[in-house]
Each structure stands twice: as C-alpha cells, then as structure tokens.
Amino acid sequence: MGKKILISFFIVILFFLINYTNNKATEYLMKNQPKWYFLNFHSYKNINHVLGTAFGLRALTSDFYYISFLQYYGDLRNAKTQYKDLANYFNDATDADPGFEFVYLFGSAILAFNLGRYDEAVKLIEKGLSYNPKMWKLRIYLGAIAYKEKNDKEKYIKFLEDAIKYEDHPAILERLLGNIYEQIKSADEAAKYWVSVYKTTKDKETKLHAYERLMYMIKNKMIKNIDEIIK
Amino acid sequence: MRRILAVAEYIFKQNFRNKILNVLIIFAILSIGFSLLISELAKEVEIRMTKDFGLFSISIFAFLTLVLSLTIQLFEETELKTISMVIVKPITRAEFIIGKFFGIILTIFMNILFMFIILMVVIKIRGGDPWDLKLFLSVAGTFLSLSILTSVALFLSVITTSIPGCIIFLFFTYILGHLTVHLKNLQYKITNQLVYKIIDILYIMVPNLELFNLKDKIHTNFSLFTFDYILLIISYSIIYILIMLILTVIIFNKKEF
Amino acid sequence: MNVIEAKNVTKIYKPLDFWKKEKIVAIRNINLEIKKGEVFGLLGLNGAGKTTLMKIFLGLLKPTSGTVRIFNDTIENRKIRERIGYMSELPYFPKYLKAYEILDYFADLFNIDPKIKKDKINEVLEIVRLSGRQNFKIKAFSKGMQGRLGLAQALLNDPEILFLDEPMSGFDPLGYKETRDIIIELNKKGKTIFFNSHILSEVEKVCDRVGVLHRKEIIDVQPIDQILKKHKNLEDYFINIINDEKVKK
Ligand SMILES: Nc1ncnc2c1ncn2[C@@H]1O[C@H](COP(=O)(O)OP(=O)(O)O)[C@@H](O)[C@H]1O
Ligand SMILES: [Mg+2]
C-alpha cells in the first residue's frame, strides 16, 4: 500500500517535470523559428508542406521544391512565360526550410539580375533577412539591385564583385559578372577574369562556361597577351 | 542487473538474427546511393541534399527497425508463448520490461550507428565535412526520439495484443508527435474551449517528437544546437521514458499469461 | 510436508471480448496438496482446466478466489521462483537462435554463476539428449526437440519442484520413454514433480498419486497403487470415474 502511494507520488513529480521541460523546450524551439515555419490555418492548401511537417522531413520537402525549381527553370518552354511562377518555388522552398539560405541568394540573383524582376527579388531578400538578419550577402544583393534599377553600372558591378568574394555565392553570379566584363572592359581583362573563374569555381557548368568563353575569345583573336593570361 | 542485461542481449541477438534487419541495412545503403543520385541534379547544394536525404533515411529506417523488432517480440509472446516460461523465472516483471526496452534501443542504436557511418563516408566522398557537430546532434536527436517511441511501443504492447493495432498506433504517435508543437502554436487563435483543451491534452500526452527533429533544422546557423536545448530535450526524453516504463510495468504486473 | 497447498481456488476468466458478458469458469473450488518428493499426475479431458490450475500455481494467472501456498510462501517471492522449474505446453522457441543461446539466456535469468553456467547447460543438454545439437538453430529443430529444449530450460536451476504441462504431447513413442526415464531419474534425486497429461499409460508408469480434474473440479485424488488394486489399469479407472460423474449429474 505504501509502495503504491510512493509510486503515485513519484509519477506526479515526473509529470510536473515533463510538463516543465516540454514547455521550456517548446518555447526555445518557437523562438528559434520564424513565424511562417509553423503550420497555420492556410497550410492545408499546400499538402506537401503539411505532410513534410507530419513526417518530420521539412528539410527534404524544401530540397524537393528546389529540385522542382531547377526543372522548371531548366525547361525552355517556360521561358516563353518569363518563368512567371519562379518566385513561388523559392517561396515554397524557404517556407519548408527557412534555413535554406542558398535559395534566398540564388533565387534573388536569378530574379533580379537575370530576369529583372526586382520586386519579387526584393521580397525574397526581405524574407531572408527577416529570418536571418546576419545574411549580409543579401544586403549586398539589395545594393546591387538598387543600382541596377538606377542603371548605375559601376556601382552595380562593385556590388557584384563584393558578392562573389564570399564563399557559397551562387555560381550564376560568376557568369553574370564575366558577361558584363566582356561588354564593358577590355578583352584582356575579361579573359583574365574567366581564367580565374575557370581555376576557382566549384560549379562544373560555370567552369565549362568560362572555358567556352575563353576559347571563343581566343578563336576570334580578341586577346592580346595570350601567353601572359594563360600560364 | 544481470537479468536486465540478459533480456536485452537476448532481444538484441534475436533482432540481429532475423534477416529482416539485414534487409534494412541493404535498404539503407540503397537509399544513400539514391541520395547521391539526387545530389547530381543540384550540384551547388549537393552536400545539403546528401545530408538531408541521409538523415531522413536514417530516421525512417530506425523507425522501421523499431517496428520490426516490436513485431518479432510480439510474435514471440503471442504466438510462441515462451514468455510464460520467462515470467516464472526469478526475474521481476519490471526487470523484464526494462531489459526489453534496452534490447530494442540497443538494436536501434547499432542500426543508426551503422547508417551514420555510411552517411559520413558519403559526405566525405562528396567533399563535405563529416565531422559536423550539427550532423551528429541530428542523428542523436533521431535516436532519442526513437527511444521515446520504443517506450511508447512497449506501453502499447501491454495494453493490446494485436500486432497491427500496435503498429498503427505507433505510427500515429509518430505523426502526432511531430504536429503537437504546431498545434500549440495555433492554440491562441482558437476560441472553442473544447478544441483548446484537446490541444492541451495532446500536447502533454503525446511525446513531443518535433523537439528532437533537429535534422530539419540542421541548416539554420543560429539556433537550437545549444547546450541548454540539448540538455532540455535529453531530460524530456528520459522523463517521458521513465513515465512510460512505469506505466507499462504497472499494467504488465497485472497481466496474466 | 506439503510443497503446494491450494485452498478453494476458483478461476473465472474474463470474457475474451469486452462487450461480451458471459464469464468462463475454468476451475472451481479446488483443494489440493502436493507432497514433497512425489510425482503427481493431474488427469483430465481437454479443456478440463489442467493448464489453468498449473498456471495459477505458477503465478502466471491470479486466482479469482482462494489461496495457493508454495513452499509455505507465495510465488510472488523471487526466492521461491528460484526453486521451481516449469515447462509449458508445446514450447516453441525463436527460430534464429541456437539451442545453446536460449539455455544461456534462461541460465542468466536464474542468475546461475557464470563459472558453472557452461557446465550446467551441457549437463541439462545431456539429460534431454540434445548434446550434439547445442549449436543448431531452432529452425532445424523438430517439435519434439523443441519440447526437450523446453524441458532442459526447466532443469537449469536444479529445481526442487518441476511443473510439466503435457510434457509428452509433442513427442514420439521413443520420446515418451525418454521423458518417463527423465522424470523417474529426477524423482530419485528427491525432486517433486507435478504434471498434466492425458497419456494415461505413461502416467501410470511414473506417478505416485493422480488427481482427476473433471468439469472444473477435482473429483478424485488417489495413490496409484490403490487405483491399480481396484482397476486393471489407469485408463479403466479414468473412464469409470468420468462415467460415474455423468450418471450423478
Ligand atoms: N485465456 C483464457 N480466456 C478465457 N477462457 C480460457 C482461457 N484459457 C483457457 N480458457 C478456458 O478455460 C477452460 C480450461 O482450459 P485449460 O486450462 O487450458 O484446459 P486443459 O489444459 O485442461 O485442456 C477451457 O474451457 C478454456 O476454453
Ligand atoms: Mg492444457
């Protein structure tokens, strides 16, 4: 009998403890995620999102959206519509995993610098900054966008150059900058840049692109100091 | 103590001798291979995707390990009935339950460890950093949440003898466990008193597995991976398991064979 | 001296499904005493309640009413359980384990000294004649061999009393004889044996006393030599007594 009372007492204590740790940890968790991370009354519209949450695979859901985006962007038929749904993919991916920082970078770079859709790009950047204000790379993009809008090429380029100094910038920026160099700088300088991209880039496609540009320039005899540039 | 270890060892051995678990390991290897394939598609984030897919496979296969190991145990108890010969031995029923718990989580631990090592190798090959603390903590979180689910499974197995019933219930616990935080977050918007109370009850009763779901937050750079938080969830899991095991033993003590 | 004393033991099973009302009375008002050193055989038709009674002795089932004392104590006491051996009806073991591993597990449950564990396991394997098969997986065991393994695990702790539920049911005639020899051998060593069976010819050869469980109650308990004085064999006695009951009712 005494044993029973003791056990009941013990369970009650455990019950309080578990409630305490549960509340504390939940609080911690909520504090650490942006509001949009949690399901709300509109979440049912996006079934992937709900399923991802229920099965505990939000990060993977986010990856799924990213791959869907790549397919969408890679499909030339969508070029006709100017990739009008593009921003949705970035939005879904960052909803599922707000920590997928590369999507903010890549997404805003494509939207702003490739497609010239500044509003959508800024919106995405703002979402990223509201999630993590320390993503200063996004601020650089913001600056670049501002100058591009004003057509201030020099400052725009300056911002892009800053942006690619940091690791884990999207490789698309490297290509973008090279193409601009070809237009505004001397062929030699552009070639020099392509060589450095060829040597340092982590992206196979960009490497190939740099190589092709170089070959193109060599074929057309645009470069003066070939030997110096290609050592 | 020796008896607890004996039961744990027996269950562990049995799980590993059952070829089902070997098939699981093959599946794990396949799925990590698949993760390599997927990462081919998206080169700039391939490390991320390899990690995500690997961690996901680990958690799913660990869950399957639990389900299979539970099935094996329930089968032995309900069909083979060897349990009656065990219960009359000088072992208390509490020792038996605790032994069983450790036997199952040891199996899960070994499986997770095995898969984790493979994942680390894959990440290394892909040029990532396998010695990432966050990666390790995510896997540890998976293990903790499965330990909780194991205790829930044991509880379910003493209140029902139906194997499918037990598994279905466990599955729902898994799903609900990932949703209670989200429900709690919505609670303040709810005016209906009944729904409000139901959310409270679910939040308290259902194991809060989302707390352990670090693998979904592995890419955040500030965050949950702090000592305080880890300590909190470890305490939570230990207390939850304790409560479950006590309840299980209380019911098991009344059980007839 | 009595090793088991059952007083007014009744067991009513709860309905199998909770919505059903009818309760199943398995045994009613059983009074039985088992003496130290005897071989006691409990006879009864299928469904008479033999297994139920044995499980109540073992604490696997709790009596609805009445009391059971074993070694003048209760089975709840771990010390008491160290002194008994039990083999269930038709024991089956997990397919992928080896015979040795299973015995090793049970030996650990008995807390047998690790130093003598190996010898002990080999000894019981010897007794049940499974010596050569210790490293075989159960998958390769016949029903009879699994039965013998069941017997082996019950002998690991040198039990003072051995409970055997239908020990011969899975065996072939050679198995009958072997089991009988084992029982006689153990009894010579002073062990009390309580077993259920409906293989009357075997019971007749090993038992000191028999009890008949019929229609939920014990209707007769007698020493075997007394029975054999009045009847030509045990079967004759058993059929008579059951028919008598029928007439009475
Ligand atoms: N777990 C149970 N629940 C309900 N009824 C049972 C249960 N086990 C046995 N019975 C019933 O109790 C009676 C006695 O069974 P049992 O002791 O197994 O008989 P025996 O071993 O003599 O063949 C039978 O009528 C059987 O149907
Ligand atoms: Mg029976």
Neighbours of chain B (3+ CB pairs under 8 A): A, C
Per-residue pLDDT, averaged over C182-206, amounts to 89
Give the pLDDT score at C199.
84
Tell if the CB–CB gap between B178 and A25 is shorter than 8 Å.
no
**Contact in structure between A153 and A184 (CB atoms under 8 Å):** yes
Give the pLDDT score at B221.
67
A160 shares a domain with A101: yes
A120 shares a domain with A183: no
Instruction: Classify residue A2: in a domain, yes or no.
Output: no
Tell if the CB–CB gap between A18 and B215 is shorter than 8 Å.
no
Helix, strand, coil percent values for chain B (each to nearest 5):
85, 0, 15
Whether residue C55 is predicted with pLDDT greater than 90 in this model: the reply is: yes
Domain end call among A134, A153, A170: A170
Q: How far is C109 from B86, CA to CA, in rounded Å? A: 8
Whether residue B96 is predicted with pLDDT greater than 70 in this model: the reply is: yes
Band of residue B25 on the pLDDT scale cut at 50, 70, 90: confident
| pLDDT tens-digit map of C66-122 | 999 999 998 888 899 999 999 998 888 998 899 999 999 999 999 999 999 999 999
A96 shares a domain with A141: yes
A185 shares a domain with A214: yes
Whether residue B72 is predicted with pLDDT greater than 70 in this model: the reply is: yes
Give the pLDDT score at C179.
85
Phi, psi of C137 (to 5 degrees): -75, 155
A218 shares a domain with A177: yes
* 3 state SS for A21-82: HHHHHHHHHHHCCCHHHCCCCCHHHCHHHHHHHHCCCHHHHHHHHHHHHHHHHHCHHHHCCC
Half-sphere exposure for B57 (CA within 13 Å, toward CB): 27
**Residue in B with minimal Cα distance to A100:** B219
Distance from CA of B80 to the nearest CA of C (A): 5
**Contact in structure between A144 and A105 (CB atoms under 8 Å):** no
Whether residue A163 is predicted with pLDDT greater than 80 in this model: the reply is: no
Strands C209-214 and C39-43: parallel
Give the pLDDT score at C159.
92
Give the pLDDT score at C101.
93
Per-residue pLDDT, averaged over A109-124, amounts to 89
Nearest CA to ligand 1 atom 18: C51
Give the pLDDT score at B108.
93
Whether residue A157 is predicted with pLDDT greater than 90 in this model: the reply is: no
**Which ligand number lies closest to the CA of residue C216?**
1
**Residue in A with minimal Cα distance to B181:** A26
Whether residue A135 is predicted with pLDDT greater than 60 in this model: the reply is: yes
pTM: 0.90
| pLDDT tens-digit map of B194-205 | 999 999 999 999
Count how many domains chain A has: 2
A214 shares a domain with A200: yes
Whether residue B223 is predicted with pLDDT greater than 80 in this model: the reply is: no
A125 shares a domain with A201: no
**Contact in structure between C171 and C179 (CB atoms under 8 Å):** yes
Instruction: Classify residue A148: in a domain, yes or no.
Output: yes
Q: Smallest Cβ distance to C97: which of B3, B14, B84?
A: B14
Domain end call among A119, A142, A170: A170
| pLDDT tens-digit map of A50-86 | 999 999 999 999 999 999 999 998 888 888 888 888 8
CA of C47 relative to ligand 1 center, distance in Å: 6
Q: How far is B139 from B212, CA to CA, in rounded Å? A: 9
**Residue in B with minimal Cα distance to C164:** B85
Q: How far is C227 from C236, CA to CA, in rounded Å? A: 10
**Which ligand number lies closest to the CA of residue C48?**
1
Instruction: Classify residue A27: in a domain, yes or no.
Output: no
Band of residue A231 on the pLDDT scale cut at 50, 70, 90: low
How many helices and strands in chain B, by DSSP H and E? 9, 0
Domain end call among A122, A138, A170: A170
Neighbours of chain A (3+ CB pairs under 8 A): B
Domain that holds residue A130: 40-170
DSSP 8-state code for residue C3: E
Q: Which residues line ligand 1 (CB under 6 A)?
A: C 13, 16, 24, 26, 44, 46-52
Is the minimum CB–CB distance between A32 and chain B shorter than 8 Å? yes
Instruction: Classify residue A219: in a domain, yes or no.
Output: yes
Band of residue B222 on the pLDDT scale cut at 50, 70, 90: low
Structure tokens at C122: 């080999």
Q: Smallest Cβ distance to B216: which of A25, A57, A101?
A: A57
Instruction: Classify residue A74: in a domain, yes or no.
Output: yes
Band of residue B247 on the pLDDT scale cut at 50, 70, 90: very high
Instruction: Classify residue A15: in a domain, yes or no.
Output: no
Q: Which amino acid type is present at position B142? A: T
A190 shares a domain with A141: no
Domain locations in chain B? 2-254
Tell if the CB–CB gap between B181 and A102 is shorter than 8 Å.
no
Per-residue pLDDT, averaged over A159-184, amounts to 78
Instruction: Classify residue A20: in a domain, yes or no.
Output: no
Phi, psi of A206 (to 5 degrees): -65, -40
Instruction: Find the radius of gyration of the CA atoms of chain C.
Output: 19
Per-residue pLDDT, averaged over B80-108, amounts to 92
B2 CB neighbours in chain C (<8 A) are: 108, 111
The more confidently predicted of residues A9 and C1 is A9
Give the pLDDT score at C223.
92
**Which ligand number lies closest to the CA of residue C215?**
1
Q: For CA atoms C55, C58, C63, C67, give the dihedral sign.
A: positive
Give the pLDDT score at C12.
92
A219 shares a domain with A126: no
Q: Closest ligand 1 atom to the C-alpha of C53?
A: 17
Distance from CA of B168 to the nearest CA of A (A): 14
| pLDDT tens-digit map of C19-31 | 777 788 999 999 9
Instruction: State yes or no: chains C and A have 3 or more CB pairs below 8 A.
Output: no
For chain C positions 58-97, those within 8 Å of chain B (CB to CB) are 58-62, 75, 78-79, 81-82, 84, 86-88, 91-94, 96-97
Band of residue A12 on the pLDDT scale cut at 50, 70, 90: very high
Q: Which amino acid type is present at position C211? A: G
CA of C44 relative to ligand 2 center, distance in Å: 9
Band of residue A230 on the pLDDT scale cut at 50, 70, 90: low
Whether residue B7 is predicted with pLDDT greater than 60 in this model: the reply is: yes
Instruction: Classify residue A124: in a domain, yes or no.
Output: yes
Band of residue B168 on the pLDDT scale cut at 50, 70, 90: very high
Give the pLDDT score at A226.
66
Q: How far is B255 from B78, CA to CA, in rounded Å? A: 13
Question: Which CATH number goes with the domain that contains A76?
Answer: 1.25.40
A159 shares a domain with A130: yes
Tell if the CB–CB gap between B89 and C81 is shorter than 8 Å.
yes
B77 CB neighbours in chain C (<8 A) are: none
Give the pLDDT score at A148.
78
